[in-house]
Amino acid sequence: MNIKLIGASGFVGTRLIAQLKESNKNYQLSNIDLLPSHFFNDITEIGDVRVQDCIDEKIKGGDCVVLLAAQHRDDVSPTSLYYDTNVGGLEVTLKAMEKNNIKRLVFFSSVAVYGINKDNPNEDSPKDPFNHYGKSKWEAEKVLMEWHKTHTDWNINIIRPTVIFGERNRGNVYNLLQQISGGRFLMIGKGENKKSMAYVGNIVAFVQYMIENCNEGYNVFNYIDKPDLNMNQLVSHVSKVLNKHIPSTHFPYWLGMLGGYGFDLLAFITRKKLSISSVRVKKFCATTQFDATKVSNTSFKPPFSLEQGLARTLEFEFLHPRTDDITFKSE
């Protein structure tokens, strides 16, 4: 199978390429991205998902497209870039696929389409995105729904991952693990809010599962590694893996938000991007649980438990000596 990956030079895409290469399935792989790949530059071509002629040409000969290209950080400016890439890039890809008679797509969406503080939403729950990333991903999914109405012979698979963590990633989960492991962790609230998370090794394994097994119709899957941990349990697990006592001080929510607004003002005055903001405090304190029943009802078996994924990440980042300094930023 000839698989065209778009936007696979980043964290998840790099692991997905590794997963597919190591599977001994004789996949033909190529990656189209704005940036070169740290590990798979031999199969990477520079290209822009927003440029029709570029994608028309570079996906020729493909049997399946995996679309990862997205603007996803909290601080993208101007905000129109979310829609130019996340919606416009999808529209370009669909037209290119049609021109090249490619009828299989795996699209990376997000649980951000549900909004925050929702009650364990499943794939059919109401959509209420609260930021431009979530709104743009939901707009993209609506494009796909309309497209499939007139292209019923296509196979479209959508994965909505929760927050993804793993080795080499530099995002919110890494920042949290770093603060906990360094003993600089300040718990805002009681620590009873649960967080759905997904280990990158399981995400890419499930994408391969979809490519090999979900080859008909229009399918949408939340992806979460269960069971969810609350913040107190997460701190305890980090302490166990690192074999160190980790004290945590609890601060009331209102005080944490006040501090977040203070950092917002500081970022505005200094024109600098800071690691703390009111949005991040709000997201940190929210219960973000998502239903994963649909995936659990398939024959897919994740290669790692959530605890194993956390342990692998902690050991790689904080216990074992590094042989390089390659990392991937995401927030």
Catalytic residues: 133
Q: Are 213 and 219 in contact (CB under 8 A)?
A: no
Best CA proximity match to 11, nearest among 65, 92, 75, 70 = 70
Q: Does residue 78 have a cis peptide bond before it, meaning omega lies within 30 degrees of 0?
A: yes
Best CA proximity match to 133, nearest among 116, 115, 112, 117 = 112
- In angstroms, the CA 51 to CA 91 distance is 10
- In angstroms, the CA 114 to CA 40 distance is 34
**Interacting residues of 322 by C-beta distance below 8 A, sequence separation 6+:** none
217: left (phi over 0), alpha (psi -120 to 50) or beta: left
Tokens 């490619």: give the residue.
102
| Exposed / middle / buried, residue 271 (Cβ in 10 Å: 0-12, 13-18, 19+) | exposed
